[in-house]
């Protein structure tokens, strides 16, 4: 992670929120993102604010337990989902939670994105599991994601949204962007006919590239 001033991190967070809104990954006050910029300090979106027009100064500072340190508003209601990630994954510095339409649509239809369709998914994200449904903003969510985030950087929350983890803010955003793109490709492919999997031999070659 590149070290910057808190002010610079705030600007980056506001820019990513704006991009998430512009790309239709979130709407209105939906979604939340965070950045661990010190060992025990996290910048996170406030609750109930439009992410498309958020200002750098609006972000809230919390500790690793989700307690508010500074800021004018309340932190996101999903704050404990974010802190669960940072407690379990010391390598992670940023988290995005969005409501990408195609990813959510797959869960509403009882489908998953699979893990053996597109080479770029195997290389950059790996398997994208679906976390069973839990009540949004409740303590059920951090409990449910625990075993998944130990081994995955990109998750779909059943009928809720997406969760991506990154070693930087832009890394987390890129994983979100790629995941929704994959969902769009899979949606189109299913309209045209049966979807082809990568063969075991093709997968083996890809895994050699990342080993």
Active-site amino acid positions: 78
- What is the β-pairing status of strands 60-62 and 68-70? antiparallel
- Centroid of chain to Cα 70: 24
State how far the Cα of 71 lies from the Cα of 83, in Å rounded to an integer: 17
Q: Which of 35, 27, 146 is nearest to 81 (CA)?
A: 146
**Locate tokens 């189109």: which residue?**
188
Whole-number Å distance between alpha carbons of 179 and 206: 18
Give the C-alpha separation, 206 to 165, whole Å: 22
- What token pair was written down for 100? 């990408």
Q: Are 161 and 103 in contact (CB under 8 A)?
A: yes
Radius of gyration over every alpha carbon of the chain, rounded to an integer in angstroms: 17
């Amino acid at each position: 992670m590149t070290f910057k001033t808190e002010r610079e991190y705030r600007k980056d967070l506001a820019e990513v929120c704006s991009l998430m809104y512009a790309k239709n990954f979130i709407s209105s006050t939906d979604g939340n993102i965070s950045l661990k910029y010190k060992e025990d300090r996290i910048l996170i979106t406030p609750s109930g604010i439009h992410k498309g027009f958020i200002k750098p100064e609006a972000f809230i500072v919390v500790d690793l337990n989700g307690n508010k340190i500074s800021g004018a508003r309340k932190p996101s209601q999903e704050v404990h989902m974010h802190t669960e990630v940072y407690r379990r994954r010391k390598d992670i510095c940023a988290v995005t939670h969005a409501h990408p339409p195609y990813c959510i649509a797959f869960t509403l239809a009882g489908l998953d994105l699979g893990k053996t369709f597109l080479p770029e998914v195997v290389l950059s994200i790996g398997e994208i599991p679906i976390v069973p449904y839990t009540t949004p903003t409740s303590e059920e969510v951090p409990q449910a994601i625990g075993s998944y985030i130990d081994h995955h950087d990109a998750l779909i929350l059943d009928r809720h949204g997406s969760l991506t983890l990154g070693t930087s803010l832009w890394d987390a955003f890129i994983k979100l962007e790629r995941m929704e793109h994959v969902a769009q490709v899979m949606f189109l492919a299913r309209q045209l006919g049966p979807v082809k999997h990568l063969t075991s031999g093709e997968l083996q070659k890809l895994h050699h590239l990342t080993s």
